[in-house]
């Protein structure tokens, strides 16, 4: 029998994700966790949320929150990635030159966390370019995998980056201590992020992967993102080589030629868990390799950022056919108008030749949690998991397919619960 401390929510539909949708579903929460998911509550008084769907809290598996205060993406749609990277470098230098930094950085991250909650996101995979402290963000309930970014082609830069990575991991528990049981702060999990093949060669990648393995932390890398990256790997030349020359960051001894993303996948597989960010231009052999390592390697697709750069069609069919865990990310507000992961899901579901809606739902929830190594705690509505929930208001019409209602253009995220507590909006309306 449910005790008075239990919270019971009723909805038109409950989507457990790992089980069939429940029409007229009821979800019981006790001590921050899901106690039961069923068709009707046998005891206790439920709060009827009305014409809504309850989903597991959404997972945004790839963000750079430092850009969250941007009013619009940097650059222009369909621009080449090397040119866009130069715009980012220029923006960073201008921002760093202002007297308000690092306060502006903290403000942007805080805004990104708040925006994420408003979009129903309860966990994210964040690429950090500075060492995060818990202290500036104690009130934020969003769980974060914090992947400390590393860049370095020259020998000196590689050494400095490796030292930064070692310090990040050894100092993490002091910087981000495990929240107390009654704290609103979400989990913080350390990780490492070698940036991309055109900024990280094997002499930095290999020790970073070994470090991730010995520390038991995940690793995330932008890979196979653009045709220019493939050209750089194959020839050592092209727009990325020219960009590195202009930035004074190239080192002829760092790279090789006749390389493919495959050569990077072999190294990333050394880590316990790896997130391959984008993977827009992976070939058959590379997808086969990911499939072989599907229990600990995930692909992260960033749909609207993909559209921003006008990349070739994403290989989602080939990935899903191979049962590669495909998660979703927004990437940053430097290439996307916002951090709305539900908008990413709805966009994919609206594509005539896109994945099935049930697959889209799993991509935005369970697969993201799996990518971050948090799937034992979240990503599905199952007894024992944390009560991280996204509540979506549905259109006032009847449909034989609840998923069609869920991804209707009028559907809207209206509430976000983290560990059983309402976090967005802060008060019930
Ligand atoms: Zn990114």
Dump pLDDT digits (tens) for 142-155: 999 999 999 998 89
Distance (angstroms) between ligand 1 centre and the Cα of 298 equals 15
In a domain, 2, yes or no: no
Distance (angstroms) between ligand 1 centre and the Cα of 63 equals 6
Report the pLDDT averaged over residues 399-410. 96
In a domain, 377, yes or no: no
In a domain, 16, yes or no: yes
Model confidence pLDDT, tens digit, residues 227-279: 999 999 999 999 999 999 988 887 766 667 899 999 999 999 999 999 999 99
Same domain, 119 and 163: yes
Distance (angstroms) between ligand 1 centre and the Cα of 341 equals 15
pLDDT exceeds 60 at position 3: no
Same domain, 255 and 267: yes
Same domain, 35 and 98: no
Same domain, 304 and 159: yes
Count of structural domains, the chain = 2
Distance (angstroms) between ligand 1 centre and the Cα of 329 equals 9
Model confidence pLDDT, tens digit, residues 66-106: 999 899 999 999 999 999 999 998 888 887 766 455 567 88
In a domain, 44, yes or no: yes
Same domain, 172 and 255: yes
Look at 426 and 420; give whichever has higher pLDDT. 420
Distance (angstroms) between ligand 1 centre and the Cα of 193 equals 10
Of 60-64, 169-173, 252-256, the one with minimum mean pLDDT is: 252-256
Same domain, 11 and 47: yes
Distance (angstroms) between ligand 1 centre and the Cα of 412 equals 26
The enclosing domain of 50 has a CATH number of 2.30.40.10
In a domain, 177, yes or no: yes
In a domain, 429, yes or no: no
Distance (angstroms) between ligand 1 centre and the Cα of 239 equals 19
Distance (angstroms) between ligand 1 centre and the Cα of 331 equals 5
Report the pLDDT averaged over residues 409-425. 95
Confidence of residue 139 (pLDDT cuts 50, 70, 90): confident
Per-residue b or e along 399-427, where b marks 16 or more CB atoms closer than 10 Å to that residue's CB:
eeebbebbbbeebebbbbbbbbeebbeee
In a domain, 361, yes or no: yes
Distance (angstroms) between ligand 1 centre and the Cα of 426 equals 30
The enclosing domain of 290 has a CATH number of 3.20.20.140
Model confidence pLDDT, tens digit, residues 185-194: 888 999 999 9
pLDDT exceeds 60 at position 161: yes
Same domain, 149 and 197: yes
Distance (angstroms) between ligand 1 centre and the Cα of 429 equals 35
pLDDT exceeds 80 at position 121: yes
Same domain, 134 and 272: yes
pLDDT at 84: 94
Same domain, 148 and 222: yes
Distance (angstroms) between ligand 1 centre and the Cα of 418 equals 25
pLDDT at 354: 85
Range of the domain at 38: 7-56+382-424
Same domain, 359 and 399: no
In a domain, 32, yes or no: yes
Q: How far apart are CA 267 and CA 236, in angstroms?
A: 19
Same domain, 281 and 417: no
Same domain, 123 and 50: no
Count of residues for the chain? 429
Choosing from 349, 371, 393, the residue where a domain stops is 371
Distance (angstroms) between ligand 1 centre and the Cα of 196 equals 9
């Amino acid at each position: 029998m449910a005790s008075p401390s239990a919270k019971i929510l009723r909805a038109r539909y409950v989507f457990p994700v790992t089980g069939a949708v429940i029409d007229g579903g009821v979800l019981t929460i006790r001590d921050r966790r899901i106690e039961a998911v069923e068709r009707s509550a046998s005891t206790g008084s439920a709060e009827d949320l009305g014409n809504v769907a309850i989903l597991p809290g959404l997972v945004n598996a790839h963000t750079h929150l430092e850009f969250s205060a941007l009013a619009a993406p940097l650059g222009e749609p369909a621009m080449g990635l090397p040119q866009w990277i130069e715009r980012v470098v220029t923006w960073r230098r201008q921002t760093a030159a202002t007297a308000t930094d690092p306060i502006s950085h903290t403000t942007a991250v805080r805004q990104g966390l708040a925006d994420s909650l408003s979009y129903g996101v309860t966990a994210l995979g964040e690429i950090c370019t500075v060492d995060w402290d818990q202290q500036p963000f104690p009130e934020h309930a969003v769980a974060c995998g914090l992947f400390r970014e590393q860049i370095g082609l020259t020998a000196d830069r590689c050494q400095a980056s490796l030292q930064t990575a070692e310090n990040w991991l050894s100092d993490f528990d002091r910087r981000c201590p495990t929240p107390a049981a009654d704290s609103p702060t979400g989990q913080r999990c350390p990780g490492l992020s070698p940036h991309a093949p055109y900024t990280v060669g094997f002499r930095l990648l290999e020790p970073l992967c070994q470090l991730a393995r010995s520390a038991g932390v995940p690793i995330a890398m932008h890979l196979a993102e653009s045709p220019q990256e493939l050209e750089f790997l194959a020839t050592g030349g092209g727009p990325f080589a020219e960009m590195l020359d202009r930035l004074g960051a190239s080192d002829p001894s760092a790279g090789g030629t006749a390389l493919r993303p495959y050569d990077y996948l072999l190294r990333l597989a050394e880590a316990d868990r790896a997130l391959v960010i984008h993977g827009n231009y992976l070939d058959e052999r590379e997808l086969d390799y990911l499939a072989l390592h599907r229990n600990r390697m995930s692909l992260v697709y960033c749909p609207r950022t993909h559209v921003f750069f006008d990349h070739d069609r994403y290989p989602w069919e080939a990935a899903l056919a191979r049962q590669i865990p495909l998660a979703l990310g927004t990437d940053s507000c430097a290439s996307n108008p916002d951090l709305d992961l539900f908008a990413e899901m709805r966009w994919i579901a609206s594509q005539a030749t896109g994945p099935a809606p049930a697959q889209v739902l799993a991509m935005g929830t369970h697969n993201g949690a799996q990518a971050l190594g948090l799937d034992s705690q979240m990503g599905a509505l199952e007894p024992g998991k944390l009560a991280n929930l996204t509540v979506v208001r549905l259109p006032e019409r009847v449909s034989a397919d609840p998923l069609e209602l869920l991804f209707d253009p009028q559907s809207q995220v209206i509430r976000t619960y983290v560990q059983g507590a309402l976090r967005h909006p802060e008060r019930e309306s």
